Amino acid sequence: MTGKDKFFVRKRTLKIVLNKNFKLFLKKANRKKGKVKMKKEIIISIIIVILVVILNIITENYTKNTMSELTSTLNTLKEDIKNENEEAIRENMQKSIDIWNDRKEKLMYYIEHNELEKVEMHILEIQSYIETEEYNMAIEVLDSCKFVIEHIEEKYAFCLKNIF
């Protein structure tokens, strides 16, 4: 074998060794890449779950605050109707309508529209009965309105019963 032949044999052997090492390196890199990709997917999934829980807590608090405020004004309205205090009745009725109109736009983002329409319908019925001074009918509708409000509050509460 001449010097050139030895050089080409060494070069070829070096290429084969490098190719084997490079292939092994690529296999290891692909395994690591798969693990890294899997870690990224897990981290993204955890972030999404955390965001869902946080948004659920925010919406639940907003719903509870809105419904409790509306229920308390309706309770006050009911007491005023029983006492037949006309000025307080009109004032609390207007306060209930204002609270509802201010809050229903945000509630529509995440609560079924049928439920919200029931509350709005009851509030309008109460208003019409108060305007015609049919207080007994107003109290009946007021009680059913409070029932629907409590139902909405329970339905959208974050608990295992509502998840499964």
pLDDT in tens, 7-52: 444 445 545 544 565 566 556 656 655 555 677 888 899 999 999 9
Residue 159 has pLDDT above 60, yes or no: yes
Sign of the torsion formed by the C-alpha atoms of 106, 110, 112 and 115: negative
Question: Regarding the domain with residue range 3-163, which homologous superfamily does it belong to in the CATH classification?
Answer: IL-4 antagonist (De novo design) like domain (1.20.120.660)
Say what percent of the chain tops pLDDT 70: 74
Q: What is the 3-state secondary structure (H, E, C) of the chain?
A: CCHHHHHHHHHHHHHHHHHHHHHHHHHHHHHHHHHHHHHHHHHHHHHHHHHHHHHHHHHHHHHHHHHHHHHHHHHHHHHHHHHCCHHHHHHHHHHHHHHHHHHHHHHCCCCCHHHHHHHHHHHHHHHHHHHCCCHHHHHHHHHHHHHHHHHHHHHCCCCHHHHC
- Which of residues 164 and 163 earns the better pLDDT score? 163
Which of 72-76, 88-92, 153-157 has the lowest average pLDDT? 153-157
Predicted TM-score (pTM) of this structure: 0.69
* pLDDT value of position 19: 56
* pLDDT value of position 46: 93
- Which of residues 80 and 39 earns the better pLDDT score? 80
